[in-house]
Amino acid sequence: MSTLLLRLAAPLQSWGDDSNFNNRRTYSVPTKSGVLGMIAAALGRKRDDSIDDLKMLKMGVRVDQAGSVLTDFQMVHGKKQSDITQRYYLSDAVFLVGLTHPDDLFINSLKEALLHPAFPLFLGRRSCPPSYPLVLGIRDCNLKEALENEPWLAQEWRKKRLSGKLRLILESTGRGTAIFHRLRDVPVSFNPEQREYQYRYVQEEGYVSCSSESKTEHDAFGELE
């Protein structure tokens, strides 16, 4: 089984948690609904298209740079009243996300779609486009091994202030003696009129030590080519 690795980094990210119009929070790590939504956009799917095949992907997250929470206060003026909304973002965060599926050809098709997206991509909200590089490639190993073995993706100057002990969160069956968390972030449909989510289990794998050696080089002008 192969694993597709993504680098989710940007000045701002926001991964919808339990939110309403006036208080839009963000989860501390990328949600499965947010990542699958980004992939669906890359594939050119509309909001009412089926995403049953994408739901079969198993996802894991490594927190390479946790970032900090930023709050944006906005005044929304209506015809009868004005409301203050609070929107929360993760600032300066970097995540390594792994995705696996039994069909390696399907994984490769997702990689190609993300490299040549049909629709613009964003990290949770339209105001949060990803920075380059987004796609790190496909690794010929399982999800946990891929996330453990990839070099640390934090910014070089940040590494001097961080320990290199990184959080690892893997999708799980919810069985066994380990401690699990249940998240309601598996999308059934992205249709705004029929938006629905299912639960999944994730397991915190503790902290993994990563090498500071990086396989990718940042090219400040790469996206202008």
Tell me whether residue 79 is in a domain. no
Q: Is the pLDDT of residue 116 over 90?
A: yes
187 is a domain residue: yes
Residue 138 lies in a domain: yes
Q: Is 151 exposed, middle or buried (0-12, 13-18, 19+ CB in 10 A)?
A: middle
Q: Is position 27 within any domain? A: yes
**pLDDT confidence tier of residue 224, bands split at 50, 70 and 90:** very low
pLDDT at position 219 is 45
pLDDT of amino acid 217: 42
Q: Does some domain include residue 225?
A: no
Give the count of domains, the chain.
1
Question: Would you state the structure tokens that stand for residue 211, as one six-digit string?
Answer: 């090498």
The residues pairing with 60 across neighbouring beta strands, listed in sequence order, are 98, 170
Confidence tier at 43 by pLDDT (50, 70, 90): very high
CATH of the domain at 105: 3.30.70.2660
For residue 224, tell me if it sits in a domain: no
Summarize pLDDT for 137-192 with one digit per residue, the tens.
999 999 999 999 999 998 888 888 887 789 999 998 777 656 678 888 888 888 88
pLDDT in tens, 2-42: 999 999 999 999 998 655 556 778 889 999 999 999 999 99
Q: Is the pLDDT of residue 222 over 80?
A: no
Model confidence, pTM: 0.85
Percent of the chain surpassing pLDDT 90: 55
**SS3 per-residue string spanning the chain:** CCEEEEEEEEEEECCECCCECCEECECCCCCHHHHHHHHHHHCCCCCCCCCHHHHCCEEEEEEEECCEEEEEEEEEECCCCEEEEEEEEEEEEEEEEEEECCCHHHHHHHHHHHHCCCCCCCCCCCCCCCCCCCEEEEECCCHHHHHHHCCCCCCHHHHCCCCCEEEEEEEECCCCCCCEEEEEEEEEECCCCCCEEEEEEEEEEEEEECCCCCCCCCCCCHHHC
**135 vs 126 pLDDT, higher one:** 135
> Which residue has better confidence, 81 or 225?
81
User: What pLDDT, on the 0 to 100 scale, is given for residue 86?
Assistant: 83
Q: Tell me whether residue 34 is in a domain.
A: yes
Count of CB atoms situated within 10 Å of the CB of 138: 17
Give a yes or no: residue 140 inside a domain.
yes
Mean pLDDT for the stretch of residues 122-129: 93
Given pLDDT bands bounded at 50, 70 and 90, which one contains residue 216? very low
What residue numbers bound the domain in which 168 lies?
3-74+84-219
pLDDT at residue 225 in the model = 42
Residues 83-97 as b or e (16 or more Cβ within 10 Å = b): eeeebbbbebbbbbb
| Residue 210 or 55, more confident | 55
